[in-house]
Amino acid sequence: MVAALSAPVAGGPGRIVLAATPIGNAGDASARLIELLTTADIVAAEDTRRLHRLVQNLGVTVAGRVISYHEHNEATKTAELLDHVRAGKTIVMVTDAGMPAVSDPGFRLVEGAVAAGLTVTAAPGPSAVLTALALSGLPTDRFCFEGFLPRKAGERSSRLADLDSERRTMVFFEAPHRLESMLRAVRERFGPDRRAAVCRELTKTYEEVIRGSLSELLVWAEANEIRGEIAVVVGGAPEQAPGTPEDHVAAVNELLGQGIRLKEAVAAVAEEARVSKRELYSAVLAAR
């Protein structure tokens, strides 16, 4: 059954606007962001102190009510904000930097608004993810954003194992004090020669982009005191040649040993290895 598409509710012009804020340089603020900050009924801010500094740098004044909205109060504040939208208010959602809801507060608000049929739109702008990707020197035609890796070594290793065959360029965020251990874990999983880039303090005075192999980046991280906001971009896994059907007979036999029938085992291995099922089947029979 196909779910009904949500649509704005009839009545007042209430809406939520996800507004991107500068990731470092206040000069990147868009004209729309400035207009929204000065005209919105409510500004929901991840950090009200950061918002205050931003509007000071922009030389503007927030005319509406400012509400603190962050990861620790999203669950309780979302319903309140949605009620304001139902009452016809315009709410601008801003986070400390970049686009709300992308590794930042905002998803719960969007989710709730969509479920309630309320209007949600965006004032796009700076993005650390896209900026790092563009500056990395790595392929940009296909990429994925993985956010922060887990802090615990076991959970981080498991997440990286899931990315073993990921061929798209990967973008991560990382805290400066964990960068060294993160690069070491990524190198151990993906190999020392995988190309990557560490992008630090993007658009700020001390912007720095270090490009090289994972081994080279780890050496750099070990030798320097790392500070600031960091994005790590890692090249995708190289495409593997499929090999010959004979190369995959052992994999079929391993599945047979687990009680899987020959036909299903051949089909599974052939799909994974990208070889002909018929030729692999013949190779298995010939090896017996």
Dihedral over Cα of 34, 40, 43, 49: its sign: positive
| pLDDT at residue 12 in the model | 58
Instruction: Check residue 13 and give its pLDDT.
Output: 74
pLDDT (0 to 100) of residue 5: 45
Question: Packing angle between helix 277-286 and helix 249-257, nearest 10 degrees?
Answer: 80
Q: What is the CA radius of gyration of the chain?
A: 25
Q: How far apart are the first and last CA of the chain?
A: 49
pLDDT tens by residue, the chain, 288 residues: 444 444 444 445 799 999 999 999 999 999 999 999 999 999 999 999 999 999 999 999 999 999 999 999 998 999 999 999 999 999 999 999 999 999 999 999 999 999 999 999 999 999 999 999 999 999 999 999 999 999 999 999 999 999 998 999 999 999 999 999 999 999 999 999 999 999 999 999 999 999 999 999 999 999 999 999 999 999 999 877 667 888 889 999 999 999 999 999 999 988 888 888 899 989 989 988
The neighbour count for residue 242, using CB atoms within 10 Å, is 14
User: What pLDDT score does 155 carry?
Assistant: 95
pLDDT for the residue numbered 260: 92
The DSSP element (H or E) to which 250 belongs, if any, is helix 249-257
| CA distance linking residue 199 with residue 208, whole number of Å | 6
Element (H, E) at 40: none
Which pLDDT score is estimated for 242? 66
Provide the 3-class DSSP secondary structure of residue 143: strand
Which of 90, 100, 85, 2 lies closest to 45, judged by CA?
Answer: 100
CA 22 to chain centroid, in Å, comes to: 18
Q: DSSP letter at 237?
A: P
Put residue 269 in one of left, alpha, beta given phi > 0 → left and psi -120 to 50 → alpha. Answer: alpha
